[in-house]
Amino acid sequence: MSDMTAGPALRRIVGFALPLTAANLLQQGYLLVDSIVVGRYVGVEGLAVVGACGPLFYLLNAMFIGLGTAFTIRLAHLTGGQQVDRRRDVVAALALLTVVWSAGCVVLATLLVDPALAVMGIDGRLAADSARFFSTLAVGFPGIFGTAAVSAYFRGLGDSRSAMWVQGIGSIANVVLVWVFVAVLGGGVAGAALATGVASTAALVVGLVWAARAHPVRRRGPRPAVRRELVDAARLGLPLASQHIVLAVGIMVLVAIIQSYGEVVLAAFTIVSRIELFTGMLFLDFSGAVTAFAAQNLGAGDRARAREGLLRTIRLTAVLSVVVAGVVLVARAPLAAVFTDDPATRDLTERYLTIIYPFLILYTVMVVTHGYLNGSGRTTAPLVCTLIAFVAVQIPFAWLLNGPFGIDAVMWAVVASWTAGLTYSVLCLRRVLFTRPASEPVPAAVP
């Protein structure tokens, strides 16, 4: 268990973020390998299937991660406030949520995949292949969501290294299995989905065993206050989950726009999405580290230290984002070539990267800012930011301008969205940083 209320602020944040980054880079690495294997052995059609199903999986997975983040925040607050005895209540509530959510999502994926694909304009052979892919993936939902819950538990305790090992084991297993199921056994896109389910289940088993050994929960005592913790988690987590719902629905709208241009454009969109996730993971982990850091220090009553950690992280993030953007822009041609031999898909991928990556710093600073807002309990602010940036700016921009300007309008809409989102986030952050809570006493004047 890591105490983030003492020691150099930036060192604590970096020390928390780096193990998560290592695990998530492995996870994004497996997603890249997955896309490469599908692109090489199934073709552009396979990449189009993955792109079509992406918003549906993101909707279910990201909503759960949003709710799981609420439990991470609760555990971090309790850890910072030295209230270890209440951990049992949080764990019981998280376990109940995971079981119910997994079962519900399996049913929803089975019943609603065809109507959801139809809403996005996916039909014919692509719709049939996409439905088969998603139905196969649904079998692995208990392992996928269970692993996310275990990771949320470790992060809430400040133990990012254990979270790293659990996620890393799942990712490595996934790389091996997707190669076997798709390249060796010829399982197609359904084989890729099956590999994800099997690997996640293995990671869940490892995570549960390790959690029981490294951070055992008191088994005896009063009955866990599950209802109270679920209410607190809903208060913190529903804005985060709603944020992801908005993003997922918006991505479905974008897919509906993009698919009208054909499978080549949808395949390029899938490739760029994978690259964005891979390069953005470091900054998302910094955001998660700032969430835990802020929650612990605010739980301990040290607002000045929480603010110091945020500002130091923003400065580091700005420098790193410039470096990452430069590497992607220089290597955009070989990056595109790794995924596909199709010249049209490669050219479109390169153009997309050229448009958005010079502005990467807008996105990275925004997500780190959201980390502090979440850690301070202001989980509604990132939701409002998403509504403004994605719903009010990006979707209308892409929808209205793709006609006269073509697919480039969809790419520039991303930049417009990041600009609007960062502007709103900074305004929210100023209010949080420089407004003293009514419950906090005003320090005595220095003579």
Contacts (Cβ under 8 Å, ≥6 apart) of 394:
250, 413, 414, 416, 417
What residue has token string 């490595």?
172
Indicate if the pLDDT at residue 441 is higher than 50. Answer: no
DSSP 168-228: HHHHHHHHHHHIIIIIIT--HHHHHHHHHHHHHHHHHHHHHHHHHHHSPPP-SSSPP-HHH
Evaluated on CA atoms 13, 16, 18, 21, the torsion sign reads negative
Percentage, residues of the chain above pLDDT 70: 91
> Most confidently modeled of 21-30, 231-240, 423-432?
423-432
- The lowest-confidence range among 80-94, 200-214, 259-273 is 80-94
Q: Are 200 and 151 in contact (CB under 8 A)?
A: no
Average pLDDT over every residue of 287-301: 83
Average pLDDT taken over every residue of the chain: 81
Average pLDDT over every residue of 11-40: 75
Angle at 11 between CA 9 and CA 16, to 5 degrees: 100
Evaluated on CA atoms 309, 311, 243, 247, the torsion sign reads negative
What's the pTM value of the predicted model, to 2 decimals? 0.64
Q: Which residue has the higher pLDDT, 346 or 233?
A: 346
Average pLDDT over every residue of 185-191: 82
Average pLDDT over every residue of 368-375: 88
What tens digit of pLDDT does each residue of 91-126 get? 888 888 899 999 998 888 888 788 877 877 777 888
Distance CA 75, CA 81 (A): 10
Distance CA 383, CA 366 (A): 13
Residue 446 pLDDT class (50, 70, 90 cuts):
very low
Percentage, residues of the chain above pLDDT 90: 13
Of the candidates 69, 8, 15, the one whose C-alpha atom is nearest the C-alpha of residue 373 is: 69
What tens digit of pLDDT does each residue of 131-184 get? 888 888 888 899 999 998 888 888 877 777 888 888 888 888 888 888 888 888
Indicate if the pLDDT at residue 439 is higher than 80. Answer: no
Residue 445 pLDDT class (50, 70, 90 cuts):
very low
In the prediction, which pLDDT does 403 show?
73
Burial class (CB in 10 A: 0-12, 13-18, 19+), 209: exposed
